[in-house]
Amino acid sequence: MDGQGEFIKLIIDSSTILLLASLGELIKERSGILNLGLEGIISFSAMTAIAIYIESGNIYLAILLAGLSGSLLSLLHGYISNYVKADQVLSGLAILFIGIGLSGLLGSRYEGLKVDPLTPYKIFIGDIVLSLDILTLLGYILAPILYIIIYRSRYGLIIRGLGDNPEGLDYLGYDVDRLRTLVTGLGGFLVGLAGAKLTLSLIPIWSIGVSGGRGWIALALVVSSLWNPILTFIVAHIFGFLNQFPILSQAIGLDIDSRLISTVPYLATIVLLTIFSLPILRRLGYAPRELGKPYIRKG
């Protein structure tokens, strides 16, 4: 693979991690659940993926269990948020520290160990050859599928109802707490796949801190894409490019301090969060109206 092809692959791999994590958080937030623990979930699932792969030699088992580990932490957050009625910001931060702590504790024996990455498939588009592995293909397929589910199906109507009008769903006989918890677990599976993509593809080695702030960037992606899976796909690739911008700047010989360049994706995250968190977005109906609020039945 030439230098240009390798750089494109890096962008795609980096974008896929953000895409999977953002899609997972998007469906959680559409149901009204905010999870600030994405960084911890990605870290824990990334460790799980590489540990299972090293111990079993089965990369697909590693992917599956990484996804399930993401579901496990997310279900814990969902239970605390929905049944205990705890503050979702605080419970999300608790998940953050639990995920990072467990990944550091359980992953210490795998520190610095490298694995063979996922084998990509060659996709030919005219004269362009793309190398896409199974997780990238899954992310690319999921974005339009989730759009159809959320906006064109009965299930999507229920998910959006959980975030916009849980009282109405309760009146119709739906168990709001159970459904929110279920959606949170499903979203967590996608976040877990993002962790698997990180250590089984982009950086096939385990080290503490390997998540590198990607969970926080994914949170910003959900907001800046206006909770829309198609926009999430687009914005994820913009951030994927920004994440690899330091490599591009070195390749083309930009005379800029590398430490300054490495802050670009995080500065962009702050700017986008500032812009897209304005109250006008809630008034325009982009954000789920009951996002971050526990549902408490009246009467």
What CATH number is associated with residue 31?
A: 1.10.3470
Please state, in angstroms and rounded to a whole number, the distance separating the CA atoms of residues 28 and 78: 9
Sign of CA dihedral 107, 211, 216, 191: negative
Q: How confident is the model at residue 176 (pLDDT cuts 50, 70, 90)?
A: very high
Residue 244: HSE in the Cβ half-sphere, 13 Å Cα cutoff:
24
Residue 256 lies in a domain: yes
Residue 54 lies in a domain: yes
Question: Three-state DSSP class for 278?
Answer: coil
Residue 292 lies in a domain: no
* AA letter at 219: L
62 or 277, higher pLDDT: 62
Which residues on adjacent β-strands are paired with residue 122?
131
Residue 187 lies in a domain: yes
Residue 21 lies in a domain: yes
Round the average pLDDT of the chain to a whole number and report it.
89
Please state, in angstroms and rounded to a whole number, the distance separating the CA atoms of residues 248 and 88: 39
Residue 289 lies in a domain: no
Residue 121 is inside which H or E element, if any?
strand 121-125
Residue 121 lies in a domain: yes
The tally of domains found in the chain comes to 1
First and final C-alpha spacing in the chain:
65
Least confident of 77-86, 127-136, 143-152, 167-176: 127-136
Q: How confident is the model at residue 281 (pLDDT cuts 50, 70, 90)?
A: low
Q: Using one digit for the tens of pLDDT, what is the confidence trace for 124-156?
A: 777 777 788 999 999 999 999 999 999 999 999
pLDDT at res. 295: 94
CA 78 vs. chain centroid, Å, equals: 16
pLDDT at res. 250: 61
Domain, as residue range, for 74: 3-284
pLDDT at res. 248: 63
Q: How confident is the model at residue 283 (pLDDT cuts 50, 70, 90)?
A: low
Residue 29 pLDDT more than 80?
yes
Tell the burial category of 13 from Cβ atoms under 10 Å away from its Cβ (0-12, 13-18, 19+). buried
CA Rg, the chain, in Å?
19
Residue 9 lies in a domain: yes
Q: How many CB atoms lie within 10 A of CB 28?
A: 31
Residue located via tokens 């109802």: 161
30 or 212, higher pLDDT: 30
Please state, in angstroms and rounded to a whole number, the distance separating the CA atoms of residues 32 and 286: 13
Residue 241 pLDDT more than 90?
no
Please state, in angstroms and rounded to a whole number, the distance separating the CA atoms of residues 189 and 195: 10
